[in-house]
Amino acid sequence: MKTLARGDLMNSVNSSALSFDRLWMPFTYYRDTLDYPPLVIKQGSGIYIFDKDGRSYIDCIGSWWVSIFGHNHPQITGALRDQLDNLEHVMMAGMISEPALNLSHLLAELLPKELSRIFYSDNGSTAVEIALKIALQYHALRGSNRSEFVSFDGGYHGDTLGAMSVGMIPQYHSLFHDRFKKHHFAHSPYCYRCPANQNPSSCNADCMDSLEKILELRHDHIAACIFEPMVQGAAGMRIYPAKVLSRIFSICKKYDILTIADEVAMGFGRTGTMFACDNAGEVPDIMCLAKGLTGGYLPMAVTVVKESVFDEFRGDYTTERILNHGHTFTGNPLASSAACAALTLLKQYNIPSSLKKTSKIMAEELEKFREFEIVGDIRSIGMIGAIELVKDRKTKEKLPAELRIPFKIAQKALDFGLLLRPLGNVIYFMPPYIITAEQIKNMLFLTHCVFKEVIHDELSDLR
């Protein structure tokens, strides 16, 4: 069999690289792929990505929140190159690679000591699926038939069917709730549009009264409560106070409900603490992690549990005390090597403590956007910033969807060398941790220029 040289292989790939007619793009309307063809990205370096024509763009959102140390970081790239010379993959059943074993020790050093058991998988949705399965089987092994879950309006936990059954963002989930399964949903801790009509600075986490009512009625049937601690990401970076998170834990403890913290997006320093639950000083029974775990290099996720949960699965072949779940690429050596390098960088960069200055600057620079009439809310925590756009600031009336102002902002941002991707009516920022103070100021200055151009053109339509 003839083997292609690397140059021949690259030429073969490049010859068809500009054809989009075979692609089905995620979260993208087909018509938009025709009117706004996807950029072909050829290279990345630090906070920048470069298209095939050499134009650079600041990756304002960490390429869907994963590139926590930017693109092509020499230490992660080097770790992958070294591993490629040794082992690309081996099944994790009866054997384990050294990188996967090393990763378990590095994770144990970062995780709360109570979270002592680590299960590897390949993405955030899967990490959630595993958590749900663990919770269901945990109760079954204890002789209890708890088969329901409770989560929150605005929650997003992934795109697989089980994960969608506990998510509640209508445009993503309604169709599948009608046809598959839907669980219980408490009010969203959405401070800008508080469901309890309270002031977040003085409230008593009253929005969680809805959670207590559900658990009061259904606690004997509920296997676990799953939530995104501190920030509901896909719903539009809905940031809420630590006192709300504390009350979630308190109510679940009162009714003896397992807690599942979906830290897929917010873990590893994003909210200003190593894990988002640390903001409330709480440790969940089960935690899901992914996104930045490998620094954006390869798919990998983990589901970690307390020893008390794992205890129910201690058994031999004569019992049913086994988690019958696995993936072909569980604990993949290449992904594990990248993750080991990324976690080592967390220590070297002193994450999250070293991010305090840049986080503060981002929060301050975001305040300058209040000059725009259509900016209803500005929120930030750690290395996350969000701007919610409205038609009327006083009434908080939403923007007319047909105007597609956030979409137009994202398209115009490309002309200014910025990669943005709105979440509904929210423009948000989740840049790599390596971004400097000056780069943050430049990123938001350019975004400010984009706002001026787009909003000036659109204000007449709003009126």
- 429 and 286 part of one domain: no
- 59 and 90 part of one domain: no
- 328 and 375 part of one domain: no
pLDDT at residue 14, as a whole number: 52
- One digit per residue, the tens of pLDDT, for the chain of length 463 reads 444 444 454 444 454 445 788 889 999 999 999 899 999 999 999 999 999 999 999 999 999 999 999 999 999 999 999 999 999 999 999 999 999 999 999 999 999 999 999 999 999 999 999 999 999 999 999 999 999 999 999 999 999 999 999 999 999 999 999 989 899 999 999 999 999 999 999 999 999 999 999 999 999 999 999 999 999 999 999 999 999 999 999 999 999 999 999 999 999 999 999 999 999 999 999 999 999 999 999 999 999 999 999 999 999 999 999 999 999 999 999 999 999 999 999 999 999 999 999 999 999 999 999 999 999 999 999 999 999 999 999 999 999 999 999 999 999 999 999 999 999 999 999 999 999 999 999 999 999 999 999 987 776 666 5
- 334 and 388 part of one domain: no
Which amino acid, one-letter code, is at 101?
Answer: L
pLDDT at residue 460, as a whole number: 63
217 token code pair = 């009625």
pLDDT at residue 12, as a whole number: 46
What's the CATH code of the domain at 388? Answer: 3.90.1150.10
Task: Among 313, 348, 383, identify where a domain stops.
Answer: 348
Sheet holding 41-45, edge to edge: 41-45, 48-51, 56-59, 418-419
- 338 and 221 part of one domain: yes
42 token code pair = 């050829």
Q: Residue 101 domain-assigned? A: yes
Alpha-carbon distances of 95 from 91, 92, 333, rounded to whole Å: 7, 5, 12
pLDDT at residue 402, as a whole number: 93
Residue 286, classed as helix, strand or coil, is: strand
Residues 6+ apart with CB under 8 A from 2: none
- 201 and 227 part of one domain: yes
Residue 240 domain boundaries = 77-348
Q: Residue 1 domain-assigned? A: no
- 439 and 455 part of one domain: yes
What's the CATH code of the domain at 92? Answer: 3.40.640.10
- 48 and 188 part of one domain: no
Question: What is the C-alpha to C-alpha distance for residues 348 and 344, in angstroms, rounded to an integer?
Answer: 6
- 246, 159 contact by CB (below 8 A): no
Sheet holding 148-152, edge to edge: 115-121, 301-306, 286-289, 258-262, 222-227, 148-152, 184-186
Q: How many domains does the chain have?
A: 2
Q: Residue 118 domain-assigned? A: yes
Task: Name the strand (E) or helix (H) holding 76.
Answer: helix 74-84
Residue 83, Cβ density class (10 Å: 0-12 exposed, 13-18 middle, ≥19 buried) = buried
- 259, 59 contact by CB (below 8 A): no
Q: Which of 349, 431, 338, 417 is nearest to 46 (CA)?
A: 431
Task: Among 324, 348, 372, identify where a domain stops.
Answer: 348
- 362 and 319 part of one domain: no
- 43 and 183 part of one domain: no
- 302, 289 contact by CB (below 8 A): yes
Q: Which residue has the tokens 């929150």?
A: 152
- 150, 141 contact by CB (below 8 A): no
Question: What is the C-alpha to C-alpha distance for residues 101 and 86, in angstroms, rounded to an integer?
Answer: 15
pLDDT at residue 16, as a whole number: 45
Question: What is the C-alpha to C-alpha distance for residues 433 and 269, in angstroms, rounded to an integer?
Answer: 9
Q: Residue 337 domain-assigned? A: yes
- 101 and 182 part of one domain: yes
- 263 and 363 part of one domain: no
Task: Among 330, 348, 366, identify where a domain stops.
Answer: 348
Q: Residue 82 domain-assigned? A: yes
